[in-house]
Structure 1
Amino acid sequence: MAKKRISVANFNVVFLDGQKELPLLSCFDTLFMPALKSGYVRKSGNSTFLLLNVNIVRDRQGDYVLVGNIVKKTVLDVLSDLNELGELVEKDDHYPSAPYSTFVIYLKNHRMIFAENQKGSPSIKSFRATIKYIVDKYVRIHNVGLKEAGKAELPIPIINVVGIPTRENLEETLKKVARINELKLKFYPLNGDGDIDYNGLFTSLTGKLRSTVGSKSGEIVLRSPENINGVIKVVTESEGIVEPVFKVTYPDKTTTTIKNDMISERKQIEIESGNFSDEMNRLIEKGKEIDSITYVSEENSRIYENNQAKIIPFIRVH
């Protein structure tokens, strides 16, 4: 058995075409998958991030799932070590390394799990930055040629990979603070998640208000909230359709910022070792045991049913 450290997130992608916001699957075959398979890489410091094995598979229920690996190509520098006598000695060794993580995106509701394969594997933060960089670059490069040819340009991607907070993490984190100084809720275009919002608060912010003023994103700030249970309820029920950021003070008077990644759902799961395909299938099924992965809104279902023909050409052939 291999232990995998996984994160749970909302993989939210919308394409802005003039004033229209198109869901991910509407541009899946013409833009999104070609971008992921473009071979573009992102460089950060001495490391290079790239996507490999990006494919569509079907799970046991016949639903389409986008899978792949993000690889961090880097060089490990060893500048010191212990010799056979236990003495500290200087060294100057350099070893190439390519740790990877695996992403599983359930296209029926664009919830995802992100599994780190080993220590040093790319984080979900690196995945978010790499996906945004690659898709943005693909659109930017292709739009130059399309504009010169007098053709319609590709729509602009708006990509948000937002961890899904859990009640347990929120309670554990907030019980240590003396005071919440500020709760900021960042909102962005939604990809079919409107009816996750049980009280209608987030839908009005992310949709109606934002579109009325012509803004791609926004935020509301709640200062000095005192009802901790109310805060936990609001953030938990958001299910990743807003991104919470806390500014807090601890009993020793120190202050800090608690970001969404710090309260999002993470798990350790065991996956039976095997070849890449077998491990991927087991990871897909393990993900579907997580409550926050399974919910599918009515709008999610409608978008998925209307765009399946755009997914099918990318199914992996064994």
Structure 2
Amino acid sequence: MKFGDNLNLLDLYDEVVKPAFFDKTLKRIYDQTEYLLNGCALVLLDQQAPTVGIVGRLVKDTILEREQIFDGSKLVDADGTLESSPSSMFVLILNNHRLLYVKEHRGSPSMEVFRSTIAKFLKIKHRTFIEAKFKASEEDENGKRLTKKKLVEIYPYPEVDLTHVGSNESVRDFIHKFKTIESVTTKLVPTNSELDNDLMFDAVRDAQKRINSKKTTLRYENNEGLNKEETIDQISSLASQGNHEFSLAGESPSGGKMKGNNDDLKIQVPIEKPSRKNKRESKSLYQKFVALVESNIVQVGKQGRRTLNKISEISQNLLP
């Protein structure tokens, strides 16, 4: 989550982000389905190294319809409806903006649905924030006041991106499904003040900022085939951070065209069905995430001073 190039999630946390998660009146309506957040809470995930998260559930409140049934020998008209509200549990770690996501039922909303829903809620609260800023603004010595257009330039519209995190094992397994890798394209994803662990891409981000580039892409290409082991090494490093979108293209063992991207490498960890106690479950999920970090399966970049200061401020209200 970012607001333009210079403002991160925590920069407008109190004004936009927190209200987007905690306003119980917000809904995203699509046909006969309503998407809403339930049971959202701030939780202190780690007290020693202050780590704060937002835990809650995304609910898909819908109506299932039927028109006919099979009675054992023939089809029979049988109109009927059934209310259904499958949910997915989430933990958004505010320190590093990692999202832990659990689909709890058949038909539970996907991560993409979560992204779309949160993006809508953020836009609603951003609009409210801009309106409030505009009403509170005063005329300068020339009798002019800030316009809404100027306020949006200062506080740009929110952007929400989701990038799946992969592991060395998932990258290796997937790449070995290719007979040859003909191209690898890597796109830098905007980060929330998190630094790249890869020195080359850290330098590329610095160059991107200096040249004022909105999009930066690195592409390797060889129709005769790229070096697989080197491809695995480079993609593994990037996939474990989640700060890059990449795509691969090449030839399958059968000779056909084959493609892949971050979605093919996402890390999935088996867990028991979460209980209704969101705060307790969030800490359990967080410990699984910590285990992945400690095993070097997932990498987390260093946080900037601005992020650490805001997390410290938020965590003070959560201390026992």
Report SS of the residue matched to 2:291.
coil
Report SS of the residue matched to 1:181.
strand
Match of 1:8 in 2: none
CA contact (8 A) 1:55 1:314 kept: no
**Separation in 1 of the partners of 2:298 and 2:248?**
27
Deviation by residue 1:135-178 (Cα, 9 ceiling, x = unmatched) = 13332454356447545443332322211111222222222222
Deviation at 1:33, TM superposition (A): 0.9
CA contact (8 A) 1:28 1:310 kept: no
Match of 2:140 in 1: none
**Separation in 1 of the partners of 2:253 and 2:166?**
24
Match of 1:25 in 2: 10
Structure 1 pair 230–96 and aligned structure 2 pair: CA distance change class (3 A): same
Match of 1:156 in 2: 157
Q: Which moved more, 1:154-163 or 1:137-146?
A: 137-146
Residue pairs, 1:253-268, within 5 angstroms: 253-268=255-270
Deviation at 1:237, TM superposition (A): 0.9
Report SS of the residue matched to 2:160.
strand
**Separation in 2 of the partners of 1:14 and 1:193?**
12
Deviation at 1:30, TM superposition (A): 2.0
Structure 1 pair 173–294 and aligned structure 2 pair: CA distance change class (3 A): closer
Report SS of the residue matched to 1:298.
coil
**Separation in 1 of the partners of 2:59 and 2:99?**
18
**Separation in 2 of the partners of 1:314 and 1:217?**
38
Match of 1:55 in 2: 41
Identical residues among aligned pairs (%): 24
Q: Relative contact order (C-alpha < 8 Å, sep 6+): which is higher?
A: 1
Structure 1 pair 110–211 and aligned structure 2 pair: CA distance change class (3 A): same
Match of 1:10 in 2: none
Q: Which runs of 5+ in 2 are unaligned?
A: 138-144
Match of 1:209 in 2: 207
Report SS of the residue matched to 1:28.
helix
Output the amino acid matched with 1:203.
Answer: D
Report SS of the residue matched to 1:203.
helix
Deviation at 1:97, TM superposition (A): 1.4
Structure 1 pair 117–316 and aligned structure 2 pair: CA distance change class (3 A): farther
Match of 2:21 in 1: 36
Match of 1:72 in 2: 60
Output the amino acid matched with 1:91.
Answer: A
Match of 1:298 in 2: 302
**Separation in 1 of the partners of 2:18 and 2:187?**
27
Structure 1 pair 107–220 and aligned structure 2 pair: CA distance change class (3 A): same
CA contact (8 A) 1:195 1:299 kept: no
**Separation in 1 of the partners of 2:253 and 2:297?**
36
Report SS of the residue matched to 2:231.
helix
Match of 1:98 in 2: 85
Output the amino acid matched with 2:203.
Answer: S
Structure 1 pair 140–229 and aligned structure 2 pair: CA distance change class (3 A): farther
**Separation in 2 of the partners of 1:130 and 1:263?**
24
Match of 1:221 in 2: 219
**Separation in 1 of the partners of 2:208 and 2:19?**
30
Deviation at 1:287, TM superposition (A): 3.0
Q: Does 1:113 align with 2:100?
A: yes
Structure 1 pair 43–274 and aligned structure 2 pair: CA distance change class (3 A): closer
Deviation by residue 1:83-133 (Cα, 9 ceiling, x = unmatched) = 3x4654343222121111111122222222111111111111211222222
Deviation at 1:277, TM superposition (A): 4.1
**Separation in 2 of the partners of 1:86 and 1:310?**
67
Residue pairs, 1:232-271, within 5 angstroms: 232-238=232-238, 239-270=241-272
Output the amino acid matched with 1:303.
Answer: R
Deviation at 1:243, TM superposition (A): 1.0
Output the amino acid matched with 1:201.
Answer: M
**Separation in 2 of the partners of 1:125 and 1:48?**
15
Deviation by residue 1:189-216 (Cα, 9 ceiling, x = unmatched) = 222322422xx222233x3232233333
Match of 1:4 in 2: none
CA contact (8 A) 2:251 2:257 kept: yes
TM-score if structure 2 supplies the norm length? Answer: 0.80
Q: Which runs of 5+ in 1 are unaligned?
A: 1-12
Report SS of the residue matched to 1:194.
coil
* Rg comparison, structure with higher value: 2
**Separation in 2 of the partners of 1:124 and 1:312?**
27
Match of 2:289 in 1: 287
**Separation in 1 of the partners of 2:31 and 2:123?**
20
